[in-house]
Amino acid sequence: MPAPADHEFGFELRVCAWAERRWPPDSEEPMSVVVARQLGTERRRWDTVVIETDPEALRRRAVFGSDRLDEDLLHVVRNAPPSWTFYRDALPHPGYPWRYVREAIHRANDRGAVETRKRANRIEIRRIAPYPDWIERVIAIENKPDLDASAARALRDQMERDVAVSLADEVWVATRRTGDRVEPALLEDLPIEVGILALDDGSAEVLWHPHSLATDRPGTVVEERASTSEYGERAARFRYVDPTTKRTKRLAIAERAYERGWRSYVETMRPDCRQFDLERDQNGYVPVCRAKRAVQSAVECRGSCSEFEPEPPAWRQRGWPIDGGPGTAIQRILADRRARQR
């Protein structure tokens, strides 16, 4: 079958698998990271997100469960006091009605993330543990296996916006190593703040080091670039994002990364198709389609795929060969790895 790197989706999975084992790229000592795919904000989704963490803080984060804490839950969990307190005395005013806070308190209680009790008809809350400061840095990676001039042109505007808003501490482009004396990616017109990483089988080389972005300072969202047309000139429009909003967004991204990891692709694909398989390469498992003889993308791999063949019922009954058919086994392998990585 073609190498996984021949496919953008396969390349993306290899970048994730490599980052999970080897991040940061220029160090012999891999650090503790949480890696996820296709995450970001309402306006921008990054291909790969690497959350650099402190392992001890990550262990303390695990106390709150493997599902993400959304912004409302974080408001409750981060401010819950060590001893029983009326919730309105304990939590800062959220800027929206208290009834929504009460809903969040009940949700947090249902999943064991805070404790609640009722005294004199008032809800009191108490934390189960302090919510740890578990994120050290957020790294955004755009994957472009073939970074030619037109791919770089298409990326440039997006990368400039990433640098301007500086939500991530570093922004990278990952590309496939060609082995040429001068890697073509280096000749392309990308912002100098963006790092360039070249991957081949099992290893990566830093072609260009990124700048560290000022995540603790206001960022700029470019709403519209300046332009000139037959109707005249149009000025650029932008707005600032304050550091507190950035901090909240980074935490929300990290929480989503913690919940999903990068192996959740199997949830939107068809591992129950008899053509679906996993192939192991130096960086971990990637999905392969035996019918297409290639790494299939999540978009291709659906029930509507013309070559979809459901697993024979016999595979699924009575625990083939040990516990469910191959599709179940594949889901279990990926779920186990996701849980173990967490």
Residues making contact with ligand SF4 (CB under 6 A) = 270, 273, 275-276, 289, 291-292, 296, 300-301, 305, 307-308
User: Shortest gap between Cβ of 328 and ligand SF4 (angstroms)?
Assistant: 15
Q: C-beta of 262: minimal distance to ligand SF4 in Å?
A: 19
Q: How far is the CB of 175 from ligand SF4 (least distance, A)?
A: 26
Q: Which is nearer to ligand SF4, 44 or 292 (CB)?
A: 292
Q: Which of 233, 216, 215 is nearest to 224 (CA)?
A: 233
The number of beta carbons lying within 10 Å of the beta carbon of residue 37 is: 24
Q: Name every residue whose Cβ is closer than 8 Å to that of residue 9 and which is 6 or more positions away in sequence.
A: 295, 296, 297, 298
The closest alpha carbon to 204, from 49, 22, 20, 3, belongs to: 22
Minimum CB separation of residue 14 from ligand SF4 in Å reads 19
Cβ atoms of 148 and 187 within 8 Å: the answer is no
Considering the complex, state which of residue 73 and residue 266 has its C-beta at the smaller distance from ligand SF4: 266
Best CA proximity match to 189, nearest among 165, 154, 222, 224: 154
Report in angstroms the alpha-carbon separations of 273 from 111, 264, 291, 330: 34, 17, 10, 11
Identify which of residues 99 and 280 has a Cβ nearer to ligand SF4 in the complex.
280
- 242 contact partners, CB below 8 Å, separation of at least 6: 218
By CB atoms closer than 10 A (0-12, 13-18, 19+), residue 196 is buried
CB closer to ligand SF4 out of 275 and 283: 275
In angstroms, the Cα distances linking 295 to 130, 277, 288, 328 are 43, 10, 4, 19
Give 40 or 326: the residue with its C-beta nearer to ligand SF4.
Answer: 326
Q: What is the rounded CA–CA span in Å between residue 176 and residue 99?
A: 51
Whether 66 contacts 81, CB under 8 Å:
no
C-alpha to C-alpha distances, 202 to 11, 12, 35, 205, 302, nearest whole angstrom: 12, 13, 17, 11, 29
Beta carbon nearer to ligand SF4, 61 or 270: 270
Minimum CB distance to ligand SF4, residue 333 (Å): 16
Q: Which is nearer to ligand SF4, 10 or 132 (CB)?
A: 10
**CB nearer to ligand SF4: pick between 200 and 309:** 309
Shortest reach from residue 274's CB to ligand SF4, in Å: 7
| Shortest distance, position 259 Cβ to ligand SF4, whole Å | 25
Q: How near is the Cβ of 277 to ligand SF4 at its closest, in Å?
A: 8
- Minimum distance of ligand SF4 from residue 272's CB (angstroms): 9
**Helix/strand/coil for 97:** coil
Considering beta carbons, is residue 194 or 295 the nearer one to ligand SF4?
A: 295
**What is the C-alpha end-to-end distance of the chain, expressed in Å?**
31
